């Protein structure tokens, strides 16, 4: 097996044939340059410092990263995910405490990693031929040994080659950098507008599956990848908290619920449309959800813990006249590079950080409120999925107003 940290003529040829990289990260025919190349580099520097400090404190020479969420986090948006149903991908990053950056992969992935994802970020390739990792092949072990030279390493996945430190590495993601917050704001607005455009386009008689396809199309045309698509209509909204689309046609009431990602960052949002006069029961339940969400936001403060937030929501459910509804579905929690980095529950001790994102989703049978919120360092919040034209239910949260999304009546 032949391996090299710069793997020679293959990559040189591929680089020569590849299109030149964009001058600004995120620039494309459809996506504006949300952050500059310099901002992306600053984001990476901050994250590398966090990771290096953690390695030094924990006594590791290096870290192996194979979860695609961590891959996108540490690279500020590079992508190696091939199979969307898997949590890990075909490329392992090896980052060392003395500043080394390597990508370990087969020759099937190497040229694209060099040309389109990692070459400009200072990574070097340690590459094997694809068949050398099959069966009892030792390709990854040999590549790790080449980098680590027998020194102690951690990993974000289970492997006999390193200690599994996935939980500790995950926590390094929670506090967002300024460039990440810029990206989150853009992504939140785009995801909300996509869902709202679908709600404006839905007509009675359309099937849930058709609406699912419309929603996916609306997101992917914006170069945003849907990761959760839950479309329900009429009685199914009352029957199921997680309703997967069916061939059932819409009569009067439809829910569009998504999670979607770009650059690894994830947004969660739910919107409703109703045809005709809204029943008082649904309106009453939605207003109750809005009050509960306001209570969640009021309790979401730097230094608090998740259980405090859930306790505030439990009290708000009772005040709204629905004391048992919180039992029927999880209430959401932190969001960032996962659909939920963690879910809150009674007594939960997960710490709330400044500049962390949250998606609380209180639900009362037949109604739900779900937005993605950025908690600023000063304790105020920013609703990144709020749009100016969508109907809302104003809820006072301390000195702020949370415009909870209402139901579009058509």
Beta-sheet pairing, 225-233 with 400-405: unpaired
Residue 256 near residue 195, CB atoms below 8 Å: yes
Confidence category of residue 405, pLDDT binned at 50, 70, 90: very high
DSSP per-residue string spanning 66-82: EEHHHHHHHHTS-----
Are 139 and 91 in a shared domain? yes
Are 118 and 58 in a shared domain? yes
Are 89 and 236 in a shared domain? no
What total of structural domains would you count in the chain? 2
CB atoms within 10 A of CB 274: 17
Res 3: pLDDT: 54
- 143, part of any domain: yes
What does the block give as tokens for 143? 């590549």
In this structure, what DSSP letter does residue 114 have? I
- 2, part of any domain: no
Residue 8: pLDDT over 90: no
The contacts of residue 383 (CB under 8 Å, 6+ apart) are: 188, 371, 372, 373, 402, 403
Res 108: pLDDT: 97
Tell me how far CA of residue 29 lies from CA of 25, 32, 37, 222, 228, in angstroms: 13, 8, 17, 10, 25
Last residue of a domain, one of 143, 171, 199: 171
**Tokens 């370990």 sit on residue:** 104
Residue 6: pLDDT over 80: no
- 229, part of any domain: yes
- For 27-169, where are the E strands, in sequence order? 62-67, 88-96, 101-106, 124-128, 153-155, 163-164
pLDDT digit string (tens) for 156-205? 999 999 999 999 999 999 999 999 999 999 999 999 999 999 999 999 99
Find the mean pLDDT for residues 330-335: 98
Compare 29 and 153 and report the one with higher pLDDT.
Answer: 153
Are 227 and 344 in a shared domain? yes
What does the block give as tokens for 193? 């507008």
Are 219 and 315 in a shared domain? yes
Are 147 and 240 in a shared domain? no
- 3, part of any domain: no
The contacts of residue 186 (CB under 8 Å, 6+ apart) are: 32, 34
Task: Report the CATH number at residue 276.
Answer: 3.90.230.10
Are 163 and 182 in a shared domain? no
What is the pTM assigned to this prediction? 0.92
Are 14 and 52 in a shared domain? yes
Are 21 and 148 in a shared domain? yes
Residue 69: pLDDT over 60: yes
Range of the domain at 105: 8-171
Last residue of a domain, one of 123, 146, 171: 171
Task: Report the CATH number at residue 80.
Answer: 3.40.350.10
pLDDT digit string (tens) for 203-225? 999 999 999 999 999 999 999 99
**Tokens 């209430």 sit on residue:** 331
Residue 310 near residue 304, CB atoms below 8 Å: no
Are 166 and 183 in a shared domain? no
Gap between the terminal Cα atoms of the chain: 65
- 281, part of any domain: yes
- 200, part of any domain: yes
Task: Tally DSSP H helices, then E strands, for the chain.
Answer: 11, 19
Are 143 and 198 in a shared domain? no
Query: What mean pLDDT, rounded, does the chain reach?
Result: 93
Confidence category of residue 4, pLDDT binned at 50, 70, 90: low
Find the mean pLDDT for residues 362-366: 98
- 1, part of any domain: no
Are 82 and 159 in a shared domain? yes
- 16, part of any domain: yes
pLDDT digit string (tens) for 42-60? 999 999 999 999 999 999 9
Last residue of a domain, one of 171, 198, 218: 171
């Amino acid at each position: 097996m032949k391996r090299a940290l710069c793997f020679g003529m293959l990559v040189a040829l591929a680089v020569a044939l590849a299109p030149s990289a964009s001058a600004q990260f995120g620039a494309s025919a459809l996506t504006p340059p949300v952050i500059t190349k310099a901002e992306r580099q600053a984001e990476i520097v901050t994250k590398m410092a966090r990771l290096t400090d953690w390695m030094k404190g924990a006594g590791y020479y290096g870290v192996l990263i194979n979860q695609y969420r961590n891959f996108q986090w540490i690279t500020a948006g590079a992508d190696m995910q091939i199979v969307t149903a898997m949590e890990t991908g075909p490329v392992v990053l090896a980052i060392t405490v003395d500043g080394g950056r390597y990508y370990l992969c087969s020759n099937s992935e190497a040229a694209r990693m060099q040309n389109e994802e990692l070459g400009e970020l200072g990574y070097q390739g340690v590459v094997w031929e694809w068949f050398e990792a099959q069966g009892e092949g030792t390709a990854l072990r040999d590549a790790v040994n080449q980098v680590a030279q027998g020194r102690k390493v951690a990993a974000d996945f289970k492997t006999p080659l390193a200690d599994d430190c996935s939980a500790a590495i995950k926590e390094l993601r929670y506090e967002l950098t300024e460039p990440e917050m810029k990206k989150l704001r853009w992504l939140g607005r785009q995801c909300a507008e996509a869902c709202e455009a679908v709600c404006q386009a839905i007509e009675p008689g359309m099937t849930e599956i058709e609406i699912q396809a419309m929603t996916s199309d609306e997101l992917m045309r914006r170069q945003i990848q849907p990761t959760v698509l839950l479309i329900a209509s009429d009685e199914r909204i009352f029957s199921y908290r997680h309703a997967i689309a069916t061939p059932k046609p819409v009569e009067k009431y439809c829910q569009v619920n998504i999670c979607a990602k770009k650059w690894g960052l994830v947004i969660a949002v739910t919107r409703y449309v109703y045809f005709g006069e809204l029943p008082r029961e649904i309106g009453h339940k939605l207003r109750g959800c809005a009050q509960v969400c306001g209570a969640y936001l009021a309790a979401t403060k730097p230094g608090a813990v998740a259980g405090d937030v859930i306790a505030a929501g439990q009290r708000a459910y009772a005040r709204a006249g629905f004391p048992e509804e919180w039992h029927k579905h999880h209430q959401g929690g932190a969001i960032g590079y996962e659909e939920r980095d963690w879910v809150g529950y009674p007594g939960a001790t997960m710490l709330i950080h400044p500049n962390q994102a949250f998606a609380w989703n209180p639900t009362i049978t037949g109604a739900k409120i779900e937005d993605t919120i950025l908690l600023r360092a000063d304790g105020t919040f920013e609703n990144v999925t709020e749009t100016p034209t969508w109907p809302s239910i104003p809820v006072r949260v301390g000195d702020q107003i949370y415009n909870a999304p209402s139901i579009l009546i058509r």
